[in-house]
Structure 1
Amino acid sequence: MDLSRRSYGYSKVDKEDPEDIIRRRAQFLIHKVLDKADSRRKPSCLRLRISKLKVKIGRRLMRLRKRMISGVSSLRLGIHGHFTTQLKTWKRLFGRGRQSPTLIALPPLIT
């Protein structure tokens, strides 16, 4: 029977006004932004050097990549051209018999 008279440790809280909730959230965000702005330091000389070095390396890598792509494409064109000329030569050699079925008269063998 003691259970029915037992007092709860938490009391029921009335619902808050939605405007108060919005105002509290806005204040929290404002304080968060202000704290972040205060914690920012001036960029050091070392950081500037590193960022410039990154840009320089990035440019060199881009140029190298472009050179490699152009080299590979020119190599492909060269191989393709060589392959097509070889194919034409083979077609001329072996395709001739199929296109014009003329037999070459050879002299009879002497035995």
Structure 2
Amino acid sequence: MGILRRSNGYSKVDKEDPKELIHRRAQFLIYKVMEQAECRRKTSFIRIRLCRLKVKIGRRLKKLRKSVLVSISAARIGVYKQVMNQLKTWRRLFNRGSHHGTIATLPRPLFT
């Protein structure tokens, strides 16, 4: 067959100047470091926002828990006071009946 085979399918490029090669490698490394720093900033920014959001939610939950506890204790105190007042009223009614024989006693007239 009439195909010529070469050892390399492309022509060899002249060797680069060593200074240019070092310069290009340095630029590549700088680019890589800057890219990594940029990625880190993005993730840390997201992490900071998430932390702030968690703190905000935590504070709101704490406030809500405190307000619920205060309202429950206030309701307990209110119910307790009502029950005690009712018991006092019943005691007065029942104690009067047992001592005097009647449920209610009439006041004595001042002038007779």
TM-score by length of 1: 0.50
| Paired residues, number | 65
Partner secondary structure for residue 103 of structure 1: helix
Alignment partner of 1:77 is 2:66: no
Counterpart residue identity of residue 62, structure 1: I
Counterpart residue identity of residue 55, structure 2: I
Q: Which runs of 5+ in 2 are unaligned?
A: 1-25, 95-112
Cα distance in 2 between the residues matched to 1:66 and 1:101? 52
Deviations 1:37-74 (A, max 9, x none): xxxx5552111100011111111111000000000000
Cα distance in 2 between the residues matched to 1:44 and 1:82? 57
Corresponding residue for residue 67 of structure 1: 53
Corresponding residue for residue 103 of structure 1: 89
RMSD of aligned C-alpha atoms?
A: 2.4
Alignment partner of 1:88 is 2:81: no
Cα distance in 2 between the residues matched to 1:95 and 1:63? 48
TM-score by length of 2: 0.50
1:1-80 paired onto structure 2 within 5 Å: 43-80=29-66
Q: Which runs of 5+ in 1 are unaligned?
A: 1-40, 107-111
